[in-house]
Amino acid sequence: MSSSDLVSERETRPASRYRVLAACDFSPLGDCAVIEGLQLCGSRPRSTLHVITVGAESLSGVVLPGPVARPMAKAEAHDLARQHVSGIIDDFLAHRHRLVVDGIVVHVTLGTPAAGILSLAAELDVDLIVLGTHGRSGLTHLILGSVTGEVMRRATCGVFIIRPRDFLRGEKLPEIEPPLRPGQHSLLPCHTAHTYHNEPRANRRSDRIMPSI
């Protein structure tokens, strides 16, 4: 069975015992949420994965998050979302993972991300919400101000949070430089500039590039 056979815009088995809702915003972290949702569904019998993408409504149509930032018809937005999710599943299968799920349903809603996720979760009566967060300002931002924090506070089901592996306590870890070649000295580039470790945190350039959900 191919990914296109599983991905749809409605649930064909309403009696599924276990429903997972994964939030996907076309970012690598959103893709991880879908993969985590697939793995969680694989641990339960008769499970369905629902994937939600929340777009913005404009006078010219729907604007999806991610790189395709242009107005489009809602039908086209659904097609793009389904194609994106199908690509994630194909990559999942290419790495020899087993796909154990009754069905995968793609939803495109309009509005704010937190409200869209919470509304669909309540409508479907899901058992678990899976979404990612960067927590760019640390734990306080995660709990009090972010989309993830709002979902955590208001959800009536379990919430599974994914964080990037290169973040620690809300701060991006510094990149590790490759080993030095023979004859090189570790302080050679730093004769006229501060080293990264001695530079005040407030002056460090942020390397965070992925948007929060």
For 157, list phi and psi in degrees, rounded to 5.
Answer: -130, -175
On the question of pLDDT at 195 being above 50, the answer is no
Pairwise CA distance, residues 121 & 125, whole Å: 6
Q: Which pLDDT value is given to residue 167?
A: 47
Higher pLDDT residue, 53 or 170? Answer: 53
Q: Point out the least confidently predicted range of 34-38, 121-125, 148-152.
A: 148-152
Structure letter (DSSP) for residue 201: G
Q: Which pLDDT value is given to residue 9?
A: 58
Q: What value does the mean pLDDT take over residues 197-211?
A: 43
Q: At what angle do helices 28-42 and 74-94 cross, to 10 degrees?
A: 60
Structural domains of the chain ordered from first start: 3-168 (3.40.50.620)
Question: pTM value?
Answer: 0.70
Q: Which pLDDT value is given to residue 44?
A: 87
Pairwise CA distance, residues 96 & 76, whole Å: 31
Q: How far are the Cα atoms of 105, 136, 158 from residue 9, in angstroms, in the given order?
A: 5, 33, 23
Q: What value does the mean pLDDT take over residues 167-190?
A: 51
